[in-house]
Amino acid sequence: MKLDRIDIRILHELQKNGRITNVELAELVHLSPSPCLMRVKKLQEAGFITGYSAQIALSKLGPTITVFTEVTLKNHRQIDFARFQQAIEKVEEVIECHLISGGYDYLLKFVAASISDYQEIMERLTDQDIGIDKYFSFVVMKTPFIKSHLPLKTLFPI
């Protein structure tokens, strides 16, 4: 499916407000409601829209810690990457996992209840023998902002 400027506008508006009504969305993207809804359904079916979720104010729930972790694997065969990724995907506290080029293999983002909880997770992972050679932890002290939307208008000018 090739996207046009209206599809990009729809995606842009939906990522800003996933709860927007179809009528409001249609108005913003200059379509009538029926064609707008058809386009949204096509975008969903084609996998451009992967889901809808609530953004949670984590700080209101209680104290937590965010840690970015650089991980280097012992071996670099395809099976080693697959084994590591399968194990990491099961860790609820890992909310992002990126395969990185450069000085290490993966960049992980953890959200844990405390630094001791994070350390327990890392000890458990190293004990599992999933190929971790070394890791470095970077504790987030403060998060001035988080953008929850992609820069669609600059990536794909509409």
Listed in order, the ranges of the chain carrying CATH 3.30.70.920 are: 58-139
Is the domain defined by 5-53 classed in CATH 3.30.230.10?
A: no
Rounded to two decimals, the pTM is 0.86
pLDDT in the model for residue 157: 80
CA 58 to each of CA 24, 92, 109, 128: distance values in angstroms, whole numbers, following the listed order: 29, 15, 15, 30
pLDDT in the model for residue 158: 65
Between CA 2 and CA 97 the distance in angstroms is 28
Q: What is the pLDDT of residues 94-112, one digit of tens each?
A: 999 999 999 999 999 999 9
Which residue numbers in the chain have pLDDT < 50? none
Listed in order, the ranges of the chain carrying CATH 1.10.10.10 are: 5-53
pLDDT in the model for residue 153: 86
pLDDT in the model for residue 120: 98
Q: What is the pLDDT of residues 5-19, one digit of tens each?
A: 999 999 999 999 999
Q: What is the CATH number of domain 58-139?
A: 3.30.70.920
Between CA 14 and CA 101 the distance in angstroms is 32
